[in-house]
Structures are given as C-alpha cells and as structure tokens.
Amino acid sequence: MKCVELFAGAGGLAMGVHLAGFKPQAIVEWDKWACDTIKENQNNGYPIVANWNVQEGDVRTFDWEGLKTEIDLIAGGPPCQPFSMGGKHQAHDDSRDMFPATVDIVRKLRPRAFIIENVKGLTRSSFANYYQYILLQLSYPEVNKKKNEDWVEHFSRLQKEKSSDGTNCNSLTYNVVPTLINAADYGVPQKRERVFIVGFRSDLKIEWSFPKATHSFDSLLFDQWVSGDYWRRHGIASPTMPVNLTNRINRIKKNHHDSNSLPWRTIRDVIADLPDPQSKSAQNYPNHRFQSGAKIYPGHTGSPIDLPAKTLKAGAHGVPGGENMLVHENGSVRYFTIREAARIQTFPDGYLFHGSWSETMRQLGNAVPVMLGKIVAASVAERLILAKMQELSMQSKGRGVA
C-alpha cells in the first residue's frame, strides 16, 4: 500500500506508518533541520528510511499531481501551534494553520484513508466550532470554500451538507472518526494526550474504531505498590508509598485482579540500560550527551523517573518549561539526553538526530511517538486490506457469473 506523509518533521509518524506496511511515495517537510535528520539517517544506511523520497518544502507548493499513482493513505500532523495550550490560540487566524492545506491535498489525491494527529488543545471549548469545521471539511473535501467566503459561512454550508446526509455531494466523501487518546495507554512511556482524526473514503464502506488501550496507570500502581514486581524487576528496594495514593492503592488491591491491562511504561523502564550521560561509557551511545543547566522552580518541575514522562514539548526556542527534565528518586534533576528523549518517543536506537540539543529536542517534541503511529496505522491497514479483499472477491464472483 502506498502513502504520503505531510508535515513529516523528524519522521516519527512516517516511520510508524512505514512499519505498519505502507510504502511512502513522498515525505514532505519544510524544516531544514528535520529534513537533515532524515537524510543523515539515509546516508548512514538506516534501513527504514533508506528509500524515502524526502522533499524539503511547503506542502502547498509540492507537485502532488506528479505522483501519478493511487494513494492508499495520507498521514501527517499539521503544525500544532495554532491550537497548543502554550501557543497564542489563534486557530484559523494563525498563518501556521495547515488544516486547509491538508484538506486540499486530500481532495487532490483522493486517498482511501487518512490519519491526522494534533494536540489536545484542538478540542478545547474555545475552538469547538472550528474543530467541527475541520472535521466537516475532511468529511466533504470537495465542498470547496468559495472566493471571498469566510470560514463561518463555509462552515454553515458544510453543516447543511451533513444534515442532508451528503446527498448534495455526489463525489468524494469520508467517514471521519476523531479520538482523543493518551499515548501512555498504548505503551508509550509518556503522558501525551493527542487527537487522532482518521477517515476512510465512504465508497469503501469501512467501519472502524480506534484501537483499544493496552496499558493503564492502575496496572502500574499495582506493579509498584501491591505486587512490588516493578522494583524487583529493576533490582532496587521499594521506596515508601506516597501518602496521596493510599486510597487508590487500597481500591486497586480489591478490584485489580481482573485487569488485563499492562502497566504504564515509565522513564526508568526505557532508560535503565543507558549509562549516566556524564560517565565515560556514555560516549559509546550516539546522541547520549549530558546537557547542563537543569533546575527546579515553580512551574518547572520535570518528570519523575518512575512514571511515564510528561509530554515532551518543542518550546518556543527548543527548551520547554521542565517537561524535558528528569527527576531522580532522590530529587536531583537533569535534562534528558537526546537518546533518552528519543526512547521516550519510541524511536529506535539506531536512528540518529541532526542538530544541537535544543534543536533536536524541538524535533522530538514535535514528533508523533513511532510506536503509537504504528499501532494506529496498522489498524487502518488491516481495514484497508480487508476492504480490498472483499472488492477482489466481488469482482471474481462477477467474472464467474459472466
């Protein structure tokens, strides 16, 4: 199956989509540093990205007609700054709002499906109408915005289209499923809440729902404070249980024996085998260098080692307000190394990052966790394959009747 990747960044979602079985026909990203990261890995022979057609530039000016092939999937995460909790909250008034460009590309390529990822802030009440407007544009991409028509007027026409069940739109439509999820619930060692907007072309008649969560906080608490397996697994003595968890732990003791969920993965789970970044042995690990200057102050508290990390963020200048800082069990703090942050974003160790610590942390903060991208894309791929098999079966039966 063939796909294209929009707003690819350092390649997190693109890598997940590729690992799910899709073959990228174009990887488009405007940021030079992010493109350099992907190209450097290509030059180093990293197999996943070896044959990617990386295009540095604006998705709005890329020659999509030049692909000349049917696209099964469009994937991408439009810039989140217009909707981010830490941004200016300008939504449609922000020049970085790339949802209109995304809809335009869907209209041009007519993919069988799309996967779009963005920040939780997109679902805030203050953006409610614009969020619904985005979903309707993706549902009816050929109901174009007219010249001199503002988005509110266009939204009204799209609402009428929806109320008519699409009977006024005889061409391209999509069944769109938006879902707000926490990446930690899918085995990513990071509490990262994101919106996924997944759509399937209506003529395929595909029914789909977001994959079920596989991990939970309660299972981690059980592992740590009831069975104690977590501490034994890491070869350390069990610390004193936090008083504020007493009631929850007591409830878990009574009810958790029937749980099938796995424990949330913690920072310790994914960095335990890495040496101290200030040690000599750290030199043997690419992108694992100590970054000085970490401090705790109000609003800048870091991520405790025995929990999933807080959401890694890009920040205005690549250095956010504490989310990229590790807090050891003794209360000491330091910044995550690039390799540690890459593991938190579930990038494989063989994948290297190009640029300074702050620039690379910006790339990582903007990325979709590779593992999460693979889980979503694999679920979409499964439905597309089944639909294709059903289509071929119907064609075969038709030829037999003939």
> What integer pLDDT is reported at residue 131 of this predicted model?
93
> What integer pLDDT is reported at residue 255 of this predicted model?
83
Tokens of 293: 């200057």
- Under the banding of pLDDT at 50, 70 and 90, the label for residue 317 is very low
> What integer pLDDT is reported at residue 188 of this predicted model?
98
Domain boundaries, the chain: 2-213+368-394, 215-353
Tokens of 252: 């878990």
* Residues 306, 147: Cα–Cα separation, whole Å: 54
Q: Please tell me the pTM assigned to this model.
A: 0.92
- Which residue reads 């619930």 in tokens? 185
CB 386 within 8 A of CB 392: no
> What integer pLDDT is reported at residue 257 of this predicted model?
64
CB 262 within 8 A of CB 234: no
Least confident stretch, 4-13, 309-318, 343-352, 373-382: 309-318
Mean pLDDT calculated for residue range 302-317: 86
Label the pairing between strands 23-29 and 113-119. unpaired
Tokens of 394: 């119907």
- The conformational region for residue 9 under phi > 0 = left, psi -120 to 50 = alpha, else beta, is left
CB 270 within 8 A of CB 344: yes
Task: Encode burial over 323-360: b for 16+ CB neighbours within 10 A, e otherwise.
Answer: bbbbbeeeeebbbbbbbbbbbbbbbeeebbbbbebebb
> What integer pLDDT is reported at residue 41 of this predicted model?
97
Task: Kindly tell me if the per-residue pLDDT of 151 is higher than 70.
Answer: yes
* Residues 165, 365: Cα–Cα separation, whole Å: 39
For 55, other C-beta atoms within 10 Å of its C-beta total: 18
* Residues 100, 103: Cα–Cα separation, whole Å: 5
> What integer pLDDT is reported at residue 68 of this predicted model?
84
pLDDT digits (tens, 9 = 90+) for 155-210: 999 999 998 876 655 689 999 999 999 999 999 999 999 999 999 999 999 999 99
> What integer pLDDT is reported at residue 93 of this predicted model?
47
Helices 128-139 and 151-163, packing angle to 10 deg: 60
* Residues 382, 377: Cα–Cα separation, whole Å: 9
For 317, list phi and psi in degrees, rounded to 5: -125, 25
Tokens of 216: 């939970």
- Under the banding of pLDDT at 50, 70 and 90, the label for residue 79 is confident
* Residues 11, 8: Cα–Cα separation, whole Å: 5
pLDDT digits (tens, 9 = 90+) for 192-207: 999 999 999 999 999 9
* Residues 156, 160: Cα–Cα separation, whole Å: 6
Angle at 13 between CA 8 and CA 19, to 5 degrees: 125
Task: Kindly tell me if the per-residue pLDDT of 94 is higher than 50.
Answer: no
> What integer pLDDT is reported at residue 59 of this predicted model?
95
Task: Kindly tell me if the per-residue pLDDT of 320 is higher than 60.
Answer: no
Task: Kindly tell me if the per-residue pLDDT of 256 is higher than 80.
Answer: no
* Residues 289, 298: Cα–Cα separation, whole Å: 26
For 100, list phi and psi in degrees, rounded to 5: -60, -40
List C-alpha distances in Å: 352 to 37, 137, 215, 306, 324: 7, 37, 28, 26, 18
CB 186 within 8 A of CB 372: yes
User: What fold is seen in the domain 2-213+368-394?
Assistant: Rossmann fold (3.40.50)
> What integer pLDDT is reported at residue 314 of this predicted model?
81
Q: Which residues contact 65 (CB under 8 A, 6 or more apart)?
A: 108
For 86, list phi and psi in degrees, rounded to 5: -95, 0
How buried is residue 16: exposed, middle or buried, by Cβ count under 10 Å (0-12/13-18/19+)? buried
- Under the banding of pLDDT at 50, 70 and 90, the label for residue 315 is low
